[in-house]
Amino acid sequence: MTDFLKTRFLVPLVAVLALMGLAYVGVQANLQWVLGVVIPYLALFVFFEGLLFKIIGWARSPVPFRIPTTCAQQQSLPWIERTLADKLDNPTTFFQVLGRMALEVLTFRSLFRNTRTELQKEEKYPEGARLVHWSYKWLWLGAILFHYGFLIVFLRHLRFFLEPVPGFVKLLDAVDGFLVFTTPTMYISGILLLAGASYLLFRRLANPQVRYISLAADYFPLFLILGIAGTGFLLRYLYHTDVNAVKQLAIGLVTFKPVVPPGISSLFYMHLLLVSVLFMYFPFSKLMHMPGVFLSPTRNLASNNRWRLHVNPWNYPVKIHTYMDQENEYREAMVEAGIPVEIQPEAAAEKE
Amino acid sequence: MAKVPSPQELAKVNYQIPAQDWLHTKPEFRPGTYVNAAQPKWLEMINYPYPRAWSVTDDDWKLPPDWKEIILRGMEERLDRFRSLKLFFDICVRCGACADKCHFYLGTGDPKNMPVLRAELLRSVYRRYFKTAGKLLGELAGARDLDEAVLKEWFYYLHQCTICRRCSVFCPYGIDMAEMTILGRELLSSVGLNIDWTAASVASCYTKGSHIGATPQAFKDMIDFLAEENERITGITCEVPINKKGAEILFITPSGDYFADPGSYTMMGYLLLFKYLDLDYTMSTYAAEGGNFGWFTSHEMGKRLNAKMYEEAKRLKVKWILGGECGHMWRVCNQYMPTFYGEVPTFLEVPKSPITGTVFEHAKVHRMVHISEFTADLIRHNKLKFDVSRNAHIMLTFHDSCNTSRGMGIFEEPRYIINNVLPEGHFFEMPPNTIREKTFCCGASAGLNADEYMETRMKGGFPRANALRYVAEKYGVNHLGCICALDRATLPPLVSYWIPGMEVTGITELVGNALVFPDEIERTTDLRDRPLVGFEEAEEEEEA
């Protein structure tokens, strides 16, 4: 194991384990108020403040040029057909942009294009090699499973915070848990989340190129999320805690009448602390790709630059070499070559 | 000049990852893998900062004493001006989807050519000076001090990016290395680090009118020569109006089209087409360059060169501008030009084809039309008479140029023209993952088509050449078509290295071959003086 892998991989791993240890110690020291109320509130505060701060920070910088990545036929002559797919990959109107963004955000359109290039031996070619560009959807699949798993798990958790539980949460619960071969029912989303996150971690370690580019900031959120999903899994299926007490705590938090009921296990506080840390970490990390994708100028702009003027707010005049500069330098040669000029050489000589 | 290793050697790309952490590996400036430093005279001509004589292989690059402050201040300014930069620095998750999409990575195997890592070279400095985590945790947060070694690394790798945007097609957040490369090169420029090939082209274009530095009279000479060539081959006299006031259309094309083969054949094609239509147009000695190497070094220089187009259109009182076949010219024209200008160029009219009456509504603000759009419209309206058998010696595949693909989306117009000027069954597409929005770069765009850079160029062009090899073997393709003048400069050495015998052609050249004039002489050759199918023997007899 190289040094950098040690620091980049092990430091975040130890950090997440230490956080769990901290939660355990906190419970032993009767700091449930800190773990169950103070830190969650702090986390939410940091999350929203940080998110706002970052997004405003981005928004303050203008988009000087309209630079969408055009991934399909442009809109030009009326008889050149543009299919719906073309319109979504090279949008020219607001609604087409909306469609492109929806595909990007909901289906990871760009990642779906992914290919994997392989250098193969090819005896038939004089250079002895060929590049084959395979379609490669595994990363897309892993990412989709992970993100949708996470989203559903997140939404399901609303049942802890809302009383009465809204219909859609109940429905989600029912659909998610339709495979009734365990007690309590196994949630598919939880499995997807764990499987997706494990795949992403596995890929980061197994693929030498990806391992090479990975930073501690790439492993830390993965460990954090695996820790959250892992403790959640244990809480639900193996080491149950008093769910009513947990709900009391959660409702207390959202109604700003915090209570810390007894009977909640240390495992739950580990879970909660990791979630709190995830929230606090979010605005200052790569997890900001979530709001960031909406602002990406290569995706969220219409490709209509030739018929709608895009104004650069900091556009400034620049020094240019004018036509007259050229003519003044080459006037006689131009006339000799039969190129029309603005001022005839005689007139120019007179001026001087 | 360094000798380029054989194709067999270059095709053995080593993708092994180095044992050492990327934060500490340093580039080796080996001849053939870098472009020479800019001579001071070029920078002086365009008032660029810190002109000085220095060499890439020197230890001391003679940086200004406060270079570090200049770079960091420059970075801060650009973060404030470009949301793209801020965002692309902040939101990358290092998933690596972009890694094997870059032709330079595929060709060199150097991990720092994975777009994600090339961007990290800049990001690591951003984190160290602009992010709390980087300030506190240093390397653990992927941050590092800005020192001369880092700057040299930027210089090396930012000139192994051709601003082709292929990575941005695959990035789930649309992160665009091209954007970071341009801004990174701006930073390098701000402390006087420029490459000679670009600086020379920019300075020549700025002061004289075109990248090749032709004077107005030399420009006219070249154009006249090509007109005479046309006359010799077709019997058609096509005089080219230059700086003609009051013409309807100003035609602007890259200097590559009139400077050297095979671009010159495309130029002959334009001239024949315009003659055929009896078009009221003019070319200009001032706006004599369609391309824009300025944009490869900075947004500002891009604007300083681009400004000539509208200025000249205004002076000559034309109605609209017609643009030739060029890649980055059209990225600039399509995505930057009206914004550079800042307002609708009301001295022009909405472009309308004088032949078909078609109003180019999609260019109603820009007021400039792409020659492929213009020609496709003519063909659609049956305004051109073709003899496709004159292209029967050509088995064609089409290379979508990076900039017209991913910065414009002009895919169907050239294909429509191709299908109308070639005999049936003479056009074949390369594999789908290597064309259209997924097209591979020629490997030498963005100011990197310098001779001293040949080894890296051949590596960077390997994915393109390899896809071409596939159709050459499978279908007997012998011509690579493109609508890019830079391609016509960079692809010939590439294909002669990887696939000897392959030719590179512009699309309007094929139009010129096929166009039938009522009063032409019998044509026995194409515009390149090669015998047409059926006239091979006559040619041989003549030679005997």
> pLDDT tens-digit profile of A102-152?
999 999 999 999 999 999 999 999 999 999 999 999 999 999 999 999 999
Of the candidates A261, A284, A307, which is a domain's last residue?
A284
- Does any domain span residue A55? yes
Mind listing the pLDDT tens digit for each residue in B185-201? 999 999 999 999 999 99
Residue of A nearest to B80 (CA): A61
Q: Do B172 and A80 touch (CB under 8 A)?
A: no
Mind listing the pLDDT tens digit for each residue in B78-105? 999 999 999 999 999 999 999 999 999 9
Same domain, A181 and A271: yes
pLDDT of residue A186: 84
Run of H or E residues at A120:
strand A115-121
Q: Phi and psi (nearest 5°) for A90?
A: -145, 70
Compute the half-sphere exposure of residue A170: CA atoms within 13 Å on the CB side of its CA: 6
Angle of the B115-130 helix axis to the B83-90 helix axis, nearest 10: 100
Mind listing the pLDDT tens digit for each residue in A215-246? 999 999 999 999 999 999 999 989 988 999 99
Run of H or E residues at A116:
strand A115-121
Residue of B nearest to A341 (CA): B243
Same domain, A154 and A236: yes
Same domain, A32 and A178: yes
Same domain, A174 and A53: yes
Residue numbers of chain B with a pLDDT score lower than 50: 544
- Does any domain span residue A85? no
- Does any domain span residue A51? yes
Helices (H), B369-431: 371-380, 402-406, 412-421
pLDDT of residue A3: 66
Q: Given CB atoms, is B400 within the 8 Å cutoff of chain A? A: no
Same domain, A240 and A343: no
| Number of domains into which chain A is organized | 2
pLDDT of residue A4: 67
- Does any domain span residue A79? no
List all residues of chain A from 117 to 156 with a beta carbon under 8 Å from chain B.
117, 119, 124-131, 133, 135, 139, 143
Same domain, A178 and A32: yes
Q: Phi and psi (nearest 5°) for B94?
A: 55, 50
pLDDT category at A5 given cuts 50, 70, 90 is: confident
Q: Do strands B320-323 and B368-370 pair parallel, antiparallel, or not at all (unpaired)?
A: parallel
Report DSSP state, residue B36: P
- Does any domain span residue A104? no
The answer to whether residue A55 scores a pLDDT higher than 80 is yes
What is the reported pTM?
Answer: 0.95
Same domain, A273 and A351: no
Q: Do A139 and B97 touch (CB under 8 A)?
A: yes
The CATH number given to whatever domain includes residue A217 is 1.20.950.20
Same domain, A332 and A186: no
Of the candidates A233, A261, A284, which is a domain's last residue?
A284
d(Cα B324, Cα A216) in Å, to the nearest integer?
49
- Does any domain span residue A16? yes
Run of H or E residues at B397:
strand B396-399
pLDDT of residue A150: 96
Run of H or E residues at A3:
helix A3-5
Higher per-residue confidence, B217 vs A349: B217
Domain that holds residue A213: 3-61+137-284
Q: Do A133 and B431 touch (CB under 8 A)?
A: yes
Same domain, A329 and A270: no
Same domain, A212 and A333: no
Q: Given CB atoms, is A337 within the 8 Å cutoff of chain B? A: yes
- Does any domain span residue A185? yes
pLDDT category at A352 given cuts 50, 70, 90 is: low
State how far residue B524 is from chain A, nearest Cα, in angstroms.
Answer: 33
Of the candidates A243, A269, A284, which is a domain's last residue?
A284
Q: Where are the domains of chain B?
A: 7-30+49-193, 203-514
pLDDT of residue B537: 75
- Does any domain span residue A52? yes
